[in-house]
């Protein structure tokens, strides 16, 4: 089967047995925390979906998040289904990021592991330096970057602390950390906030080919 990778991953659903599709759909279906909270606190459920499904069918294709590609490969290998990957991911002109911080040995180990993958999630305890590791990875990747935080005030604070000509929109509470990543142009760094399932941001730093920080797929 042929797997197409661009800003998402898609392949022909008809090429897979129903059992394989069920496995993929099961992995990409999670309980909706908003629905669970409504039930827990005896609130009105209304039209809140009980589950969130991170797949859809479009013109005979099943479309899934790009970050799921390694799990997909594992599923297909488990069912002994041969596949080919057509990677059409866009790679942009390298951006002049420079990381000026110093990493501890465990952070360097994590960074080295990140750089061997195109997407994934870095999970570590609070205070272990996920953000600093992310900065170093952004500088190594040299690609446009999107940082997503879960609280709007953080996004606004980032912009307030970093007016032009040095807008470094990273969700740090310390300006000294903000200055660890220096760049000559602001167009490649963007900050945003999300009200979606963002409870894992405190323990996870997600990355992709363009090193976008977002909710883990």
pLDDT digits (tens, 9 = 90+) for 147-202: 666 655 555 555 554 444 433 444 333 333 334 444 434 455 555 544 433 333 33
Q: Is the pTM of this model over 0.85?
A: no
Cα 6 to Cα 20: distance, rounded to the nearest angstrom: 22
Determine the 3-state secondary structure of 11 from DSSP.
Answer: strand
Q: Tell me, what's the pLDDT at 126?
A: 82
Residue 203 pLDDT exceeds 90: no
Average pLDDT over residues 17-34: 96
Provide mean pLDDT across the span 49-64.
Answer: 96
* Rounded Cα gap, residues 212 and 35, in angstroms: 28
Nearest to 91 by CA among 33, 157, 142, 30: 142
User: Could you report the per-residue pLDDT of 83-118, keeping only the tens digit for each?
Assistant: 999 998 888 888 887 787 889 999 999 999 999 987
Residue 121 pLDDT exceeds 90 = no
Measured CA to CA, the distance from residue 120 to residue 45 in angstroms comes to 33
Give the C-alpha separation, 195 to 45, whole Å: 18
């Amino acid at each position: 089967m042929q797997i197409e990778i661009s800003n998402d991953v898609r392949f022909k659903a008809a090429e897979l047995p129903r059992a394989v599709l069920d496995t993929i759909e099961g992995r990409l279906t999670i309980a909706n925390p908003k629905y669970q909270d409504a039930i827990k606190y005896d609130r009105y459920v209304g039209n809140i979906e009980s589950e969130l499904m991170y797949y859809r069918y479009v013109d005979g294709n099943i479309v899934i998040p790009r970050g799921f590609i390694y799990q997909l490969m594992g599923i297909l290998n488990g069912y002994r289904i041969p596949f080919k990957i057509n990677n059409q991911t866009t790679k942009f002109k390298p951006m002049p990021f420079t990381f000026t911080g110093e990493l501890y040995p465990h952070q360097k180990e994590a960074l080295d592991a990140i750089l061997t993958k195109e997407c994934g999630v870095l999970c570590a305890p609070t205070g272990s330096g996920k953000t600093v590791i992310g900065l170093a990875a952004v500088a190594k990747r040299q690609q446009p970057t999107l940082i997503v935080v879960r609280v709007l005030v953080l996004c606004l604070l980032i912009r307030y602390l970093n007016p032009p000509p040095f807008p470094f929109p990273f969700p740090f509470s310390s300006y000294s950390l903000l200055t660890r990543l220096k760049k000559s142009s602001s167009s490649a760094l963007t900050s945003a906030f999300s009200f979606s399932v963002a409870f894992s941001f405190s323990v996870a730093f997600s990355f992709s080919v363009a090193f976008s920080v977002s909710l883990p797929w």
